Structure 1
């Protein structure tokens, strides 16, 4: 890869200038008039109006210009090619500008062109040659021109990973530029100094420099530089830990770059970094890969291509794809080595090592990389020490492990929040290896507290959920330590501490965002038209494109929603309050610890632990059970319904043994609360024989159950019944249920719109929605119920001021929740519980419409007579017991929340 880039640059040089001595035009110029001042005016236009600048330069060249004018014109075109197009072609173009300046006999012009040429060489991967040209340019230039050259050299030194040398050039350039009254170059120098300060952790100083630069740019017409200033505001927000603001600034900068028609690989790199920090690894990988493809198409800067490859490697690593990560990191390393960029080279080597299995060689290499990164003052030295420490632990090298983990743990008290989380993880692993459970758990507690405070800055549900990935190993270490140390109560507290990471944050509400509301209305309209076209058998690619574009905009708004809750309160122990609140009920919290299920049974004022089955066996049995239920719902197995139901009964018995172990024997009739990990939430729990006759509910955590249980029931008994379109039995189902209540609000036909439904649901005592549902595993917040005017998504539900107290969703798949981040859930139910819904009844698999309509009447008779949702659902299952299809349908529904 480096050889290919080097050869392409050489070809560009030879294509622009013959190998022989310079043409006669340079040594014996014809007497031509020069308009150097007018031509020079094109140079500032490169970063204000690049298309106009190139057009002007081509007009100059078309007129047989003097060497001085020709030098400027070629430099203008070369700068646009270098920064926004074919970087290899720019090398030849800028070399021509240098030779023309030399022929014109202007040292100042030659210095300016040499500086531009040197930067192009460096971006093409020819670092030594580029720096030599820049050094020569500094020697030739005087006064303000020398300061401008020093700024350019400082910028490439920063790209090369030499911040101290870059700052030295800036310290010498800035006073000269200020005295010369040059607002454009002074603002550029201040911007670069801000970025260097930012890299050093001096966010306040960086913000001051950027503010001054923005004020200077405001006095000019430098549109590109103004876009860069917005871009850099995003970097400041990112370094300060404000991810929503960072994404908002970067999106604004992207719009500005698009208006100018200028590619922005730097923006792509920075956006990837923000997405990675937000836990959106797959999206970061896609963005980085697209950036690499665009640069290759443009034949753009090799330096930026190497950085994008490194970013893509980091994203692949975070997305649990070590093979791809290693391949990308290897490609990046080769480019960095050819470009003589040591700072970047050792960062790419770290990613390469992180993608490999632990061996003695890896341990030594990780230690060497950690040493080099420390010498380079890189924040990645901590993760490199952590890698070396992990490898040493795996190899039984306790002393080596302790040394590296101690070095990595130094990050726990400094830097960004997620770096501190990593530092606390190193501290926890260190004390775990030393056999000190007290200090291990103390480190885990501190690390998770840092993560919870970080979450308080995130407004969007998806960002909050994804941020939990950074605490997964801390939680796993705590659970592992708690299990070994003994004590079921302590283990339960740690399970709850981990599961409450996201649930402790108040819910995201989008009601005040008018822009979001308008986008959702447009999304419904486009989706409704697309569905109509597809139903009629018409291809509608333009509508599909419009739908995807709206999804991207809605998601971007959601990610940019700021958190405004301040610091989070410390979690209080939950076990005493839980045991006091249970009464005759039992709570079974299921924990997955290193692939093994453990049941923590809370009842009679005690917590007991029961070992159960292996996660892999549960997953296999669950897949069979869900598939059998779906075959019955869609009619495939109805001729053999009794045989299928018998197979499901056997599967339920196996699941009970694997999931509940000895805890199943204690379930003798009282209410049961199940608290499973995220990956179990699609389980049809009523298939378990011990649970089927009982009133049981499922909750995301014990704290969530306590919170739902404490919600105040509305004083008015408003009942809302909604029948969505296209559901054969929906109107009849709603009409039959309406007879059970006095003056219910009924929305069907054209009245069953998303806006009307949301207004009716807001603050109601009981709501029943019979509508087709669609679960989006690829984007759970776009999971939706289909209303007359289009889909009503999770984003719409987040606009509710007060969610309905009780909600029945009789449509297919309405209870499905997607594990997101490490152990968080996204979906309709996950959105409604924090918003104030005490209990939800919904299905975890598709269900038969006709069987559901009959069962719903039984359910509502129980609710009308004062039964809890869990008890009413139990009564519904009992009535269905004689009919295999009805039994299977009833078993697909689950009570979520307080029960």
Structure 2
């Protein structure tokens, strides 16, 4: 009996620290020891029931839900042999709570919630062990509430659980509760709060439950994905997956693979996304988890859809049909947001195929967004509405959808805590912004049309750069890093205004950023949003300068030129050709950077650079000659042209030039420079 109890306690510790794989063997050994000395005493029966309960959990994770439920059935039979009384009733309720946990992990959420609601009111808290059991049951019910998209019910359970954990010193339970509070914050869209809870949970788990750290990394990655930070999310998942595999946490491995597929989709690696999504689906199917298997299948179809939408060819007919089928199955499983996503992707594919009627019918089936609808789903809904409006000859409605979508995105980003989160959410509005800019560009006529285009440029560009830094950071080490980052960023802005190099500053900023990220920069408040600068504010600040704001649409580049309070649109050269020649020019200048090049090689590369500079000049600057005259310039480039050495172009040599990511950013930096002594 004592040996079996010792094995049971060791197994529980292993389960917490390393997952169920190592614990499973010890639980089986404990059961074998009990079988060697069978007895019908209450203490023997109670211990056997406890071992079977824990064994059921481990079997469900590693083998299958059915295997776990079989162990629970045996545990229930053992409980039935206990003497009548409170102990038997209590242990029977514990069996039902464990059944609820297994059903939850198997995707049977409603059944799980019914069992928890029935058992929780009956649980006593007259001993420390029972008090802990009650708190754990509260936490498990919060899991179910979260998966059923009931954040308020989850918060009530978690707050009560955290209160019990903190007041009685249950540090492992406190870590789990904080982890769940992070999940709850993520569900309602408060990503900084979610990441703060995850960091607190991770700090606790380092000492009280290192086996749970990979699970925290998984949820941190989900939060980063919601913020559009695919690269950071992928890094967290790539760290967590080997540990999850080692601990044989099959459900969590598969969930991490779904998240990794989503990160790959954001990064445009559709083949990798299909690989992870396919592996996840097979794992879920082996476990009999229909809900998650369908989510993994959607990830695979999403990769196919995004690849097709990025191709100029007409998408195959099967893709929107597959997605419509996914939507039906997901809706039947109660996965409302995922079903809406599948339909929205099908809408875009049908519109690309020219099947406007089918797209309109699908869009009508998408329910209104709710509080917990992810921001990328909101942006996709706005994009579908805008594209459908364009397809049905309603450009004003399309612009109204784009305006509303970017306003919603701005509100979400204003709530973000760290600058990376502010930047990352931009990915969700990129396509919506491109659609609006292309539409406004096509209708831009004269001063009024150019001014309107400038407003839309700033609306889509200026979101990150309208944040003014706040001074207070609580952690002294992080504060030092953030202060240096702010200094480096401001210096770089001033250097851009002065036309001076910023390469070393940008490298230093990246180094500081990596270190600050490690210390929890994501959850520190970065700044307060300032309004996007109006055309009149920019024009007034320019004075005698001329601002050139580039825009790419299709395969053409255009420029909005602001001079003496007047706005005009000037067509420039082809996008692909300009970007390629710029890349070649940049490569030539890099070769010329060392001073020890042999004279013949230096002469050849110089001639190549001059030729390419002249070509770019003809594509970008000479068409602007009349509009810009010989004035000092402020240039707002498009992404692929940020590396262009503007001062090296023949028409701009010797001219004062400032380069900024947006007119709002330029105006902010100019005002700060004017205010400082």
TM-score by length of 1: 0.64
In the TM superposition, what whole-angstrom CA distance separates every residue of 1:450-474 from its partner, at most 9, and x where no partner exists?
2111222223222222221111111
Structure-to-structure mapping, 1:132-281, within 5 angstroms: 132-138=70-76, 141=79, 142-178=88-124, 182-260=130-208, 262-264=210-212, 265-281=214-230
User: Are positions 1:558 and 2:521 aligned together?
Assistant: yes
Deviation at 1:666, TM superposition (A): 3.1
User: In 2, are the aligned partners of 1:601 and 1:608 still within 8 Å (CA)?
Assistant: yes
Q: Which residue of structure 1 aligns with residue 632 of structure 2?
A: 671
Equivalent residue in structure 1 for 2:401, among 421, 436, 443: 443
Counterpart residue number, 2:332: 375
Structure 1 residue aligned with 2:613? 652
Q: Give the equivalent residue in structure 2 for 1:313.
A: 261
1:257–1:323: structure 2 CA closer, same or farther, 3 Å change rule?
same
Distance 1:515 1:166, change over 3 A: same
Aligned length: 622
- 2:443 & 2:134 partners in 1: Cα distance? 61
Matched-pair contact (CA < 8 Å) for 1:429–1:440: yes
After the TM superposition, which residues 702-851 of structure 1 pair with which residues of structure 2 at under 5 Å, given as runs?
A: 702-711=663-672, 713-714=674-675, 763=676, 765=677
CA RMSD of aligned residues (A): 3.1
Maintained 8 Å contact 2:55/2:71 = yes
Identify the residue that residue 284 of structure 2 maps to in structure 1: 336
Rate the CA distance shift 1:549–1:502 in 2: closer, same or farther, 3 A: closer
Match of 1:126 in 2: 64
Structure 2 vs 1, CA of residues 412 and 200 (structure 1 numbering), >3 Å: closer, same or farther?
closer
Find the structure with the greater CA-based Rg. 1
Q: 1:549 to 1:165 in 2, by over 3 A?
A: farther
State the SS of the aligned residue for 2:570. strand
Pick one of 93, 104, 111 that aligns with 2:39.
Answer: 104
Partner Cα separation in structure 2 for residue 104 and residue 614 of structure 1: 86
The alpha-carbon distance between structure 1 residues 627 and 304, as it changes in their structure 2 partners (threshold 3 A), is: same
Instruction: Give the whole-Å Cα distance in 2 for the aligned partners of 1:550 and 1:610.
Output: 38
- Could you tell me whether the CA contact under 8 Å between 1:516 and 1:554 is conserved in 2? no
User: Which residue number in structure 1 is paired with residue 311 of structure 2?
Assistant: none
2:226 and 2:374 in contact (8 A); partners too: no
Q: Give, in whole Å, the separation in 1 of the partners of 2:116 and 2:350.
A: 43
After superposition, the Cα gap between the structure-2 partners of 1:213 and 1:414, relative to the gap in structure 1 and judged at 3 Å, is closer
Unaligned runs of 5+ in 1: 1-33, 35-59, 62-69, 524-546, 715-762, 766-899
**2-structure distance, mates of 1:377, 1:183:** 33
1:488 equivalent in structure 2: 450
Q: For residue 657 of structure 2, what is the aligned residue in structure 1?
A: 696
Q: TM-score by structure 2 length?
A: 0.84
Change (3 A) 1:251 1:549: farther
Hey, what's the Cα distance between the residues in 2 that align with 1:281 and 1:425? 21
Contact between 2:254 and 2:283, CA under 8 Å: does it hold in 1? Answer: yes
The Cα of 1:444 is off from its aligned counterpart by 1.2
Q: CA deviation at 1:315?
A: 1.6
Provide the residue aligned with 2:459 in structure 1: 497
Counterpart in the other structure of 1:87? 20
2: CA distance between counterparts of 1:169 and 1:591?
58
Contact kept in structure 1, 2:186 and 2:194, CA below 8 Å: yes
Counterpart residue number, 1:745 = none
Residues 678 and 478 of structure 1: is their aligned pair in 2 closer, same or farther, counting only changes over 3 Å?
same
User: Match for residue 585 of structure 2?
Assistant: 625
Q: Secondary structure at the match of 1:218?
A: helix
SS of residue matched to 1:611: strand
Q: Verify the 8 A CA contact 2:637 2:660 in the aligned structure 1.
A: yes
SS of the residue corresponding to residue 599 of structure 1 reads strand
Q: Conserved in 2, the CA contact under 8 Å of 1:98 and 1:110?
A: yes
Could you say which structure has the higher helix fraction?
A: 2
Q: Is the CA contact 1:418–1:470 (under 8 Å) kept in the aligned structure 2?
A: yes
One of 250, 254, 277 as aligned partner of 1:302: 250
Q: Relative to structure 1, is the Cα distance of residues 259 and 83 closer, same or farther in structure 2, using a 3 angstrom cutoff?
A: closer
CA change 1:584–1:570 in 2 (3 A) is closer
Which residue of structure 2 lines up, in the alignment, with residue 288 of structure 1? 237
**Distance (Å, rounded) in 2 between the aligned partners of 1:709 and 1:262:** 50
Q: Residue 397 and residue 508 in structure 1: after superposition, are their counterparts in 2 closer, same or farther (change >3 A)? A: farther
* Structure 2: runs of 5 or more not aligned: 80-87, 309-314, 486-509
2:558 to 572, 593, 598: 598
Q: Distance in 2 between matches of 1:155 and 1:80?
A: 19
